[in-house]
A = this chain, B = another copy of it.
Amino acid sequence: MTDFPRSLLTGYDSFMSGRYSGESQRYRTLAETGQKPHTLVVACCDSRAAPETIFDAGPGELFVIRNVANLVPPYEPDGQYHATSAALEYAVQVLKVRDIVVMGHGRCGGIQAALDPMDEPLSPGDFIGKWMGLLRPTAEQIPSTDVMTQSERQTALERVSIRNSIANLRTFPCVRILEEKGRMRVHGAWFDISTGELWIMDSKTGDFIRPTVELPVPTSA
């Protein structure tokens, strides 16, 4: 009958008989009272890095923006429409999230496109070219392959970009003011798709480190 992807219908079936079945009351309550997520996550569209999966988050916990390479553009009150800024504004002003996490990940295709721009745009609109152009000034400062390996350049820009987005976040008056008042915290994180490792940005130095909490380490690969 329907040409809706069969795998999604099967997955939905599994959701209904599994998770939803066990949490139906929570869904009902969330529908009635509205959402009150504690955290905004700015993540990448990448199919391997869904925040709800990585943080094992249930319904109502994370408000999630996903764009290519998890970028936050700078504050630009120019009358244009901005998907990311609108979602940021909504999360901060309406939902009053307490934490914002900019979460990057390894092997990011968008970061790769920023590092080594294609000769030809993908389409006359060149939307990826324009979008990753937000990172251009930064990307151009990453050393060439004469100096760093391709993998090192990629990881470097992935992390630089997270710091860049966090700096852009702070150009939004609402974020800056709330952070200064101690009512909001801004974080960076980076997920290694291959090993499953989560690296967290040290808020003072900007370095990415494995969390020093007493987490069990992955037991086998």
Q: Which residue of the partner chain B has the closest CB to A52?
A: B50
- Are A73 and B81 touching (Cβ within 8 A)? yes
Number of A residues with CB within 8 Å of any CB on chain B: 139
Which of A39, A64, A210 has its CB near the most chain B CB atoms (within 10 A)? A64
State in angstroms the CA–CA spacing of A55 and B220 once bound together. Answer: 13
In the complex, the count of this chain's copies comes to 4
Contacts of A131 in B (CB 8 A): 81-83, 85-87
- Are B86 and A130 touching (Cβ within 8 A)? yes
- Are A81 and B187 touching (Cβ within 8 A)? no
State in angstroms the CA–CA spacing of A9 and B66 once bound together. Answer: 20
Check A128/B45 contact, CB under 8 A, given A55-B12, A212-B1, A213-B9: no
Give a binary string over A180-214; 1 marks a CB under 8 Å from any B CB, 0 the rest.
Answer: 00000101010011111110101101110011111
Check A13/B83 contact, CB under 8 A, given A46-B35, A211-B2: no
